[in-house]
Amino acid sequence: MAYISVAVDGPAGAGKSSVSKKVASDIGYTYIDTGAMYRAAAVFAIENGIDIKTEREKLISRLDEIKIELKNENGVQKIFLNGSDVTTRIRETDATIGSSDIAVIPEVRVKLVKMQQEMAKTANVIMDGRDICSTVLPDAQVKIFLTASAEARAKRRYDEMTQKGMECDLEKIKRDIEYRDKNDSSRAVSPLKQTDDATLVDTTDMTFDEVVERIKELIRNVLSFRTSTPEGGEVSKSKNATLNPRPQAQSNHMFFYKVALVIVRFVMLFIFRLKIEGKENVPKEGGAIIAYNHRSYWDPVVAGTTSGRKLRFMAKEELFKNKFFGGLIKSLGAFPITRGRGDIGAIKGALKILKEGSAMLIFPEGKRVRDGKKVKAKPGVAAIAHRARVPVVPASIKGEYKWMHKITVTYAEPVYLDFDNKMTAEETQAAADNILEKIRENL
């Protein structure tokens, strides 16, 4: 049974806890507030007269006395420290500052990280903190870096505290946040930073509901990929979750794929006169990207019937809203991507497909382009090929999609990138442009 882990990192006051809590409630996941755990540890030190900055060894010697529990009572998560409810206490200013100071102590982190990792092994979880993506749950299926300007974060924290009847000063809250930002990002142990595979979500100008929907969208994209691929395995579903599509067994998936392919090939031969050139350039096995020019919705169908490989491909999520068409392209190997955003879940899915030896269809232009119009290639085709260490076969689709018109599909020799060296953004763009140019040579 594979559980889903959603890792949410970000600076103080970015809304990680409130957003994560709401998302977890909506989809039936367990919410784990790691920041609350460090706050509870700080409260232990404060209540026992231990100066976190100057009496580190004394605190370390008493770590075994700290027992932290997260309990749900009537739908509300509460934090208990050694049996006492400290849910409200940990939000006070001294606990807030103390949590940042205590988080830099390696021994404290080791103790709490182990607790957090064990929690993630037993349920679908949403966990937020400062180093969840990089240290606590490095293999999380969904990784998000939630941030906002210091001014926006201070105002949110001020409103939260005043609504609870707590006395506070807006400028002091802002100074505290800036102090924590500097402390969290410069600490030697697990500093706050956005990992390369985390999706950045800047909430400065977003409403709470918009942020919640964006996070759910990212989770939905990953689950759609995992449950639509036979390689993804079984995904554990929470009883209240509404995001999880029903997984298909590999045998059923292959059956529908073969049936759909036979039907599509028959239709294609009946409607168009297909001519295939250079098919020997398509690797018969192993990971590979087949990169086509994109003019019509027919292109993925033509690609799937002429390449000789079962092709997986990304398709904008709007196409899946039509049950018939969405079901058809899904059976042919499509999985959804949110166009125009950094869809990390879909990118990770593409890398997994390629590294497991399957072939992928990618349109370097990123969208449908009319004949004769030239656009710049999207760098993703080269970036994915480089990270997955697979060749790219430039493929050209030429001809009009009209009754009994000839459609010629030409497969050029594979392009191999320099897999042994890192590529700069400029080099990645140049490689993508080169692939697209090779496609255009046969048009």
In this structure, are residues 119 and 32 in contact, taking their beta carbons and an 8 Å threshold? yes
In this structure, are residues 405 and 333 in contact, taking their beta carbons and an 8 Å threshold? no
Residues 347 and 436 in one domain: yes
Is the Cα dihedral 93, 97, 103, 105 positive or negative? negative
pLDDT greater than 70 at residue 408: yes
Quick: pLDDT tens for 298-341. 888 888 888 888 888 777 767 667 776 666 666 666 767 665 44
Tell me the residue range of the domain where 100 lies.
Answer: 5-232
Q: Print the SS3 string covering 332-398.
A: CCEEEECCCCCCHHHHHHHHHHHHCCCEEEECCCCCCCCCCCCCCCCCHHHHHHHHHCCCEEEEEEE
- Range ranked top by mean pLDDT from 29-38, 82-91, 330-339, 347-356: 82-91
| DSSP line for 229-253 | SGGG--B---TT-SS-PPP--HHHH
Residues 262 and 396 in one domain: yes
Residue 238 lies in a domain: no
- Which comes out higher in pLDDT, residue 70 or 255? 70
In this prediction, residue 244 carries a pLDDT of: 42
Residues 204 and 274 in one domain: no
Residues 219 and 255 in one domain: no
- CATH number for position 161: 3.40.50.300
Q: What is the mean pLDDT of the chain?
A: 82
In this prediction, residue 432 carries a pLDDT of: 94
In this structure, are residues 7 and 44 in contact, taking their beta carbons and an 8 Å threshold? no
Residue 241 lies in a domain: no
- The helix/strand/coil state of 208 is helix
In this structure, are residues 23 and 69 in contact, taking their beta carbons and an 8 Å threshold? no
- Which comes out higher in pLDDT, residue 292 or 371? 292
Share of the chain above pLDDT 90, in %: 36
Of 192, 103, 102, 100, residue with least CA distance to 147: 192
Residues 266 and 192 in one domain: no
Last residue of a domain, one of 198, 232, 266: 232
Residues 223 and 268 in one domain: no
Instruction: Work out the end-to-end distance of the chain between its first and last CA atoms, rounded to an integer number of angstroms.
Output: 48
Residue 246's pLDDT band, with cuts at 50, 70 and 90, is very low
Question: Would you tell me the crossing angle of helices 150-163 and 170-186 to the nearest 10 degrees?
Answer: 120
Residue 342 lies in a domain: yes
Residue 258 lies in a domain: yes
Residue 104 lies in a domain: yes
Give the C-alpha separation, 257 to 251, whole Å.
Answer: 10
E-state strands within 165-249 = 199-202
Give the C-alpha separation, 165 to 163, whole Å.
Answer: 5
Share of the chain above pLDDT 70, in %: 81
Residue 218's pLDDT band, with cuts at 50, 70 and 90, is confident
Residues 219 and 256 in one domain: no
Domain total of the chain: 2
Residue 247's pLDDT band, with cuts at 50, 70 and 90, is very low
- Which comes out higher in pLDDT, residue 126 or 237? 126
